[in-house]
Amino acid sequence: MGKILMKGNEAIALAAIKGGVDAFYGYPITPQNEVPEYLSKHMIENGKVFVQAESEVASINMVYGAAGAGVRVMTSSSSPGIALMQEGISYIAGAELPCVIVSVMRGGPGLGNIQPAQGDYYQATRGGGNGDYNLIVYAPESIQETIDVMKSAFDTADYYRNPVMVLVDGLIGQMMEAVDFDRPVEKRDLSLKDWATNGKKNHPGKRNIANSLHLGAEILEDHNKNLKKKYDRIKENEVKYEMINMDNPDYTIVAYGTMARVCRSAIKQLKKKGIEVGMIRPIALWPYPKKAFDEIPSTCKGIMCVEMSMGQMLDDVQISNRGRFDVAFYGRYAGVVPEPEEIVDAIENFEEWRVE
């Protein structure tokens, strides 16, 4: 196929098809509308299911149903829409069903605006819904990486029987870059979905139930213990991050998604000024790459967390740092994307941005 120039949202849609999606349910919202737009044309012509539901609440419950029936299913939305879906996401996680949720973040809180932002880190990694559950959350930094993540997301979701969220900001959704859809991605050994509620002819003599309701306290506790075991397994195996220029940095930046790319440019500018700065770039936000922080050389003068939010991943940075280094935070939010020069300035005035 070679490299083609493509808009991020459309690339997400095509990558989902390449990843084997069978059904899409969603409701329009900027800045992710090109995802359903593209799929509305290409799912039908490939004999797959596309439904524009009446709301986000309906969409996620359609996802719940389709996931229960064992098909590869996804939805896509943006911040306020993802907020509406939280009940359904919690049910899907509780019922241990696989699905892929694309979240293209915009400014908040509330309806906010439609510009790029990263204010939904908590929503994605802390569970916006109720109960003890986790999503596997990926935060790619480019359209290419988004494609690679999307292509393998359905395998990952099936493997763990858990929702996978692909978290990008509006900039990745709206920009165009040259991308390659043929890059190989990791394939997993998947067992048959013998748990699917797809009719007894597919599992004779066995009654399958997709459910998140367990009224007996001990029964639910046992269920949650099993969930915990699964989450521990994910924490053990699915940490994904990149270390950039981390041999002997004066400072270490921690950033993800679009923000990491802006920081890459800042790091180059700082190098010209004689300041060596490295970066820990989480690719999976949950599970968080805590162990990466152990690799920061003791000569480092401090950690600077940079986000397009008021400081949400900062919590995980401080937990992972365990008080070892001084921590500073620089953020622009509500739809403002910081320029590399701002990060350069923030590093040069580290003390000013220090947090307790």
Partner 1 sequence: MAEKTIKVAGFGGQGVMMFGKLLAYAATKEDRYSLWFPSYGPETRGGTANCAVIVSDEVINSPVFRNASHTVVFNLPSLEKFNDRVEDDSLLLYNASLIEKEVKNDKALVVGVPCNKIANDLGNPKVLNMVMLGAYLALTKLFSADVIETVLKEYLGDSKAGMLDVNKQAIKAGMDFIEDAGISYA
Q: Give the binding site for partner 1 (CB under 8 A).
A: 3-5, 30-31, 113-115, 170-171, 174-178, 258, 261-262, 264-266, 268, 335, 337-341
How many other β-carbons are positioned within 10 Å of the β-carbon of residue 117?
27
Judged by beta carbon, residue 63 or residue 263, the one nearer partner 1 is: 263
Q: How far is the CB of 87 from partner 1 (least distance, A)?
A: 30
Q: How far is the CB of 22 from partner 1 (least distance, A)?
A: 30
Nearest to 143 by CA among 34, 20, 40: 34
Cα dist from 194 to 82, 89, 300, whole Å: 30, 22, 51
Nearest to 166 by CA among 121, 103, 80, 238: 103
Judged by beta carbon, residue 87 or residue 342, the one nearer partner 1 is: 342
Q: How far is the CB of 262 from partner 1 (least distance, A)?
A: 4
Q: How far is the CB of 112 from partner 1 (least distance, A)?
A: 12
Judged by beta carbon, residue 3 or residue 354, the one nearer partner 1 is: 3
**Contact (Cβ atoms closer than 8 angstroms) between residue 251 and residue 353:** no
Helix-then-strand count for the chain, H and E: 12, 15
Cα dist from 10 to 6, 234, 327, whole Å: 7, 29, 38
Judged by beta carbon, residue 172 or residue 300, the one nearer partner 1 is: 172
Q: How far is the CB of 7 from partner 1 (least distance, A)?
A: 8
Q: How far is the CB of 167 from partner 1 (least distance, A)?
A: 17
Judged by beta carbon, residue 28 or residue 340, the one nearer partner 1 is: 340
Nearest to 161 by CA among 240, 229, 59, 79: 229
Judged by beta carbon, residue 20 or residue 340, the one nearer partner 1 is: 340
Which helix (H) or strand (E) covers residue 91, if one does?
helix 86-94
Cα dist from 29 to 35, 77, 94, whole Å: 10, 6, 27
Judged by beta carbon, residue 52 or residue 269, the one nearer partner 1 is: 269
Q: How far is the CB of 244 from partner 1 (least distance, A)?
A: 11
Cis check for the bond before 31: say yes or no (omega within 30 of 0). Answer: yes
What is d(CA 314, CA 303) in angstroms, rounded to the nearest whole number? 10
